[in-house]
Amino acid sequence: MFKSFLNFDSMITPKIITVIYWLSIVAVALGGIASMFSGYRGFTFASFLMGLGIIVGGVLLTRVYCELLIVIFKINENLRTLATRE
Protein backbone atom coordinates (compact mmCIF):
# COMPACT_ATOMS: atom_id res chain seq x y z
CA MET A 1 0.00 0.00 0.00
CA PHE A 2 2.75 2.44 0.91
CA LYS A 3 4.64 1.58 -2.27
CA SER A 4 1.60 2.33 -4.44
CA PHE A 5 1.23 5.64 -2.60
CA LEU A 6 4.84 6.61 -3.26
CA ASN A 7 4.68 5.54 -6.91
CA PHE A 8 1.40 7.41 -7.53
CA ASP A 9 -0.37 4.17 -8.49
CA SER A 10 -3.34 5.07 -6.32
CA MET A 11 -4.85 8.53 -6.25
CA ILE A 12 -5.92 10.15 -2.99
CA THR A 13 -7.20 13.35 -4.57
CA PRO A 14 -10.70 11.96 -5.37
CA LYS A 15 -11.17 11.27 -1.66
CA ILE A 16 -9.96 14.77 -0.83
CA ILE A 17 -12.35 16.25 -3.41
CA THR A 18 -15.25 14.59 -1.58
CA VAL A 19 -14.21 16.20 1.70
CA ILE A 20 -13.76 19.56 -0.02
CA TYR A 21 -17.22 19.20 -1.57
CA TRP A 22 -18.93 18.72 1.79
CA LEU A 23 -16.97 21.54 3.41
CA SER A 24 -17.91 23.81 0.51
CA ILE A 25 -21.59 22.89 0.86
CA VAL A 26 -21.48 23.84 4.54
CA ALA A 27 -19.70 27.11 3.71
CA VAL A 28 -22.22 27.97 0.98
CA ALA A 29 -25.15 27.21 3.29
CA LEU A 30 -23.70 29.36 6.08
CA GLY A 31 -22.93 32.17 3.64
CA GLY A 32 -26.44 32.04 2.23
CA ILE A 33 -28.01 32.09 5.68
CA ALA A 34 -25.78 34.99 6.69
CA SER A 35 -26.81 36.85 3.54
CA MET A 36 -30.48 36.27 4.33
CA PHE A 37 -30.22 38.05 7.65
CA SER A 38 -27.66 40.75 6.88
CA GLY A 39 -29.79 43.33 5.10
CA TYR A 40 -29.21 47.01 5.84
CA ARG A 41 -32.55 47.22 7.63
CA GLY A 42 -32.48 43.77 9.09
CA PHE A 43 -34.40 40.90 7.55
CA THR A 44 -35.96 41.85 4.20
CA PHE A 45 -37.57 39.79 1.48
CA ALA A 46 -34.87 40.84 -1.00
CA SER A 47 -32.06 39.71 1.30
CA PHE A 48 -33.92 36.45 1.88
CA LEU A 49 -34.17 35.82 -1.87
CA MET A 50 -30.53 36.74 -2.35
CA GLY A 51 -29.47 34.30 0.36
CA LEU A 52 -31.65 31.60 -1.16
CA GLY A 53 -30.08 32.26 -4.55
CA ILE A 54 -26.61 32.03 -3.04
CA ILE A 55 -27.46 28.68 -1.47
CA VAL A 56 -29.03 27.17 -4.60
CA GLY A 57 -26.47 28.59 -7.02
CA GLY A 58 -23.52 27.86 -4.75
CA VAL A 59 -24.52 24.25 -4.20
CA LEU A 60 -25.06 23.77 -7.93
CA LEU A 61 -21.76 25.37 -8.94
CA THR A 62 -19.85 23.48 -6.24
CA ARG A 63 -21.32 20.19 -7.42
CA VAL A 64 -20.49 20.88 -11.08
CA TYR A 65 -16.92 21.92 -10.24
CA CYS A 66 -16.26 18.85 -8.10
CA GLU A 67 -17.82 16.56 -10.71
CA LEU A 68 -15.51 18.00 -13.37
CA LEU A 69 -12.51 17.29 -11.17
CA ILE A 70 -13.70 13.73 -10.55
CA VAL A 71 -14.22 13.20 -14.31
CA ILE A 72 -10.55 13.97 -14.88
CA PHE A 73 -9.57 11.23 -12.45
CA LYS A 74 -12.08 8.78 -13.95
CA ILE A 75 -10.53 9.40 -17.37
CA ASN A 76 -7.13 8.62 -15.84
CA GLU A 77 -8.44 5.35 -14.37
CA ASN A 78 -9.98 4.30 -17.68
CA LEU A 79 -6.80 5.10 -19.58
CA ARG A 80 -4.79 3.00 -17.11
CA THR A 81 -7.22 0.13 -17.65
CA LEU A 82 -6.87 0.41 -21.42
CA ALA A 83 -3.08 0.59 -21.16
CA THR A 84 -2.89 -2.61 -19.08
CA ARG A 85 -5.11 -4.55 -21.50
CA GLU A 86 -2.73 -4.22 -24.43
In order, the DSSP letters of 54-72 are HHHHHHHHHHHHHHHHHHH
Q: What is the pLDDT of residue 22?
A: 97
Q: What is the pTM of this model?
A: 0.78
Q: What is the pLDDT of residue 3?
A: 77
Q: What is the pLDDT of residue 1?
A: 67
Q: What is the pLDDT of residue 86?
A: 67
Burial (Cβ within 10 Å: 0-12, 13-18, ≥19) of residue 51: buried
DSSP-assigned states of every residue in the chain: -HHHHHTT-S--HHHHHHHHHHHHHHHHHHHHHHHHT-BTTBS-HHHHHHHHHHHHHHHHHHHHHHHHHHHHHHHHHHHHHHHHH-
Between CA 42 and CA 48 the distance in angstroms is: 10
Ranges under pLDDT 50 in the chain: none
